[in-house]
Amino acid sequence: MWWPSPCSPSRSSCCTATRPAAPTAEAPGVSETGLARKPGTPHGQRYRLGVMGGTFDPIHHGHLVAASEVASKFYLDEVVFVPTGRPWQKKARRVSSAEDRYLMTTIATASNPRFTVSRVDIERGGDTYTVDTLKDLRAERGDDVDLFFITGADALAQILTWRGADQLFDLAHFVGVTRPGVELESPAVAHLPPDKITLLEVPALAISSTACRARALAGEPIWYLVPDGIVQYIQKRGLYQLGDDAPHPA
């Protein structure tokens, strides 16, 4: 998975994101789809589901803070974390098993009642593509749910090259997160539908899964970079030891 990488530090209006208007219905309850609302969610509004897909190898506090911030700003009822089954863009290195990554994600999100974890990409098999993730979640959750796909802001510059790019904006609203003061300058962003993307600054946490793996391999501590349970899981399973980042055999 990603953590938003630094873009150009210069100011750009394309990175200014405003907080969506709060829903105005009066009381929490159950939506018309029958999905239970989280406490504080106005009754009568469409269910709002955040989708955070990624390798999560390992999941870290940057992922969790980003999901929490988007949930707050967009009044999401739930954020579902979707570990990739087979990340097509990471075939150059060995990726931890889908089960290990799923279990780490489950451990990391267990304390937040608004966070859930889906196996949809793992159980589909084959390479994982965002368009398939969103289609499967749409089929699973129904048409009366609004999807908000959470990704790094820099990834939005490449979104038109993704598989099924012509379908993506019909399936979800895309939220690109970035560090405070970091602006995204890409001509590609100007060609994206403005009503289907939002760029959002989140608290600055310079954490990446790559750095966590490297520290674990070097025997350096990763406490407080990842949740405590993840540190213990990595140690118990012996993950990210010598050879884990070697290319897959041909």
Over residues 174-219, the pLDDT tens digits come to 999 988 777 777 777 788 999 999 999 998 678 999 999 999 999 9
Q: What pTM was computed for the model?
A: 0.80
93-144 pLDDT per residue, tens: 789 999 999 999 999 999 999 999 999 999 998 899 999 999 999 999 999 9
Q: How many domains does the chain have?
A: 1
Domain-located, residue 10: no
Question: Is the pLDDT confidence value at 167 over 70?
Answer: yes
Domain annotation covers residue 237: no
Residue 35 counted as domain residue? no
Give the residue from 48, 56, 43 showing the smallest Cα distance to 175: 48
Evaluate whether residue 181 is within a structural domain: yes
Position 33 scores a pLDDT of: 29
Residue 64 domain flag: yes
Q: Find the mean pLDDT for residues 50-64.
A: 96
235 part of a folded domain: no
Polymer length of the chain: 250
Q: What angle (nearest 5°) sits at the alpha carbon of residue 229, between those of residues 94 and 3?
A: 55
Cβ neighbours of residue 113 closer than 8 Å, sequence gap 6 or more: 38
154 located within any domain: yes
Whole-Å CA distances, 33 to 24, 72, 180: 19, 22, 37
Q: Looking at the domain assignment, is residue 54 inside a domain?
A: yes
Domain with residue 177: its CATH number is 3.40.50.620
Helix extents (H) in the chain: 61-73, 98-109, 120-124, 130-141, 153-156, 165-171, 209-217, 228-237
Q: Which domain holds residue 108?
A: 44-207
pLDDT of residue 13: 33
